[in-house]
Amino acid sequence: MSVTELRIAIIGAGQISQSCCKAADKHDSATVVAAFDPSPGRLKELCDEFKIPTACSSAEDMLALDNVDAVYVAVPNKFHAPYAKQALEAGKHVILDKPFALSYDEAKAVADAAEANGKLFMLGMNQRYRTDSQKIRNLVSTGRLGEIYHAKAFWFRRSGIPKLGTWFGNKDLAGGGALLDIGVHLLDLCLHLSGNWNPVSVTGATYTKFGNRGLGEGSWGKSDKEDILFNVDDFASALIKFDNGATVTLDVSWACHAEEPNRNDVHLYGTEGGASTYPAKLFHYGAEGEDYQVVEDPEADIALEHADRFHNFFNAILGTEQPLTSVEEALTVQRILDAIYASCASGKEVRLD
């Protein structure tokens, strides 16, 4: 790759877009050169704060700029796949925020566009980059846990629905609620850590119990409050089975009655050891005569010291690092998410094999 100065453009000037600007500021070779958002106020705020020189009046104008190498897409979920595809077809590398898309078919069209145009496409699954996650991944890949036969992934927020009255709570704009917003993170992390990528069946249930009553609101999101219907899940639960006989349970809530305000983790159960991720801990038998071992902050190599999805994206384009995510894995996560909603709708197990 001949590019040494990487010129980034951003679609969406909401709350999360700052994370890309901050990462570019810290990176030696990346600069944010352009941004677009239909809200003139939010667009100006982002451009002023991060000294972005070009505020575009449309995504088309932005994607037509010759001085843009790569695009970060951070918009309501409905627009993820269309913008990602459009940017790839305009010859830009793309990092898209989660969830991938509103359906597998949409996601596959993006993957095909990346391949057809020879551009890098990455989903920004930031949980994979955390130091604790990288340690557990290393312990699993070096065999310290043996065969992983079960994993438990969860994220329980007591009162963490993004601002009520915004796109986050509306099915047309978001596609789904807690499951697509935070469940996707823990599902992806769980599969990444356990190394299980061949799901065969999914049973799921989703619930809407708080947002529809105006309860459980958190503070996330910069979009303006409007009179938008809340009609997505604020709680979801699923059982996923894999071709090697392993199972995963996933539980996620934007709002629920719980002791702690916010708790997420992936627990792994293996034949030779177990692990929890946040914080990293390893569990295994001691040597003969020793007690059972609970190892806090276990010794393990980490792949990427910078622990940042944007730096990984920039470096992957520059050819100095491998992406920590893959398109195939992102498609598998999307298939499972689709199946959880399908299982909830039908009341039946959904086969994926």
Q: Using CB under 6 A, list all residues that contact ligand NAD.
A: 11-17, 37-39, 42, 74-77, 79, 97-98, 124, 126, 166, 181, 221-223
- Report the run of H or E that residue 70 belongs to, with start and end: strand 70-73
Indicate the residue whose CB is closest to ligand NAD. 14
- Report the run of H or E that residue 203 belongs to, with start and end: strand 199-207
Tell me how far apart the alpha carbons of residues 135 and 145 are, in angstroms, rounded to a whole number: 13
Q: Smaller CB distance to ligand NAD: residue 74 or 145?
A: 74
| Burial classification of residue 329, based on how many CB atoms lie within 10 Å of its CB (0-12 exposed, 13-18 middle, 19 or more buried) | middle
Q: Smaller CB distance to ligand NAD: residue 126 or 332?
A: 126
Q: How far is the CB of 352 from ligand NAD (least distance, A)?
A: 24
Q: Smaller CB distance to ligand NAD: residue 221 or 273?
A: 221
- CB atoms near residue 278 (< 10 Å): 17
What per-residue string of b and e applies to 248-269 under the rule 16 or more CB within 10 Å gives b?
bebbbbbbbeeeeeeebbbbbb
Q: Smaller CB distance to ligand NAD: residue 20 or 139?
A: 20
Q: How far is the CB of 283 from ligand NAD (least distance, A)?
A: 28
Q: How far is the CB of 3 from ligand NAD (least distance, A)?
A: 25
Q: Smaller CB distance to ligand NAD: residue 30 or 352?
A: 30
Q: Smaller CB distance to ligand NAD: residue 10 or 300?
A: 10
Q: How far is the CB of 117 from ligand NAD (least distance, A)?
A: 21
User: Which whole-number Å values give the CA distances from 229 to 52, 209, 214, 216, in the listed order?
Assistant: 34, 14, 11, 15
Contacts of 27 (CB under 8 A, 6+ apart): 6, 310, 311, 314
Q: How far is the CB of 351 from ligand NAD (least distance, A)?
A: 28
Q: How far is the CB of 12 from ligand NAD (least distance, A)?
A: 4
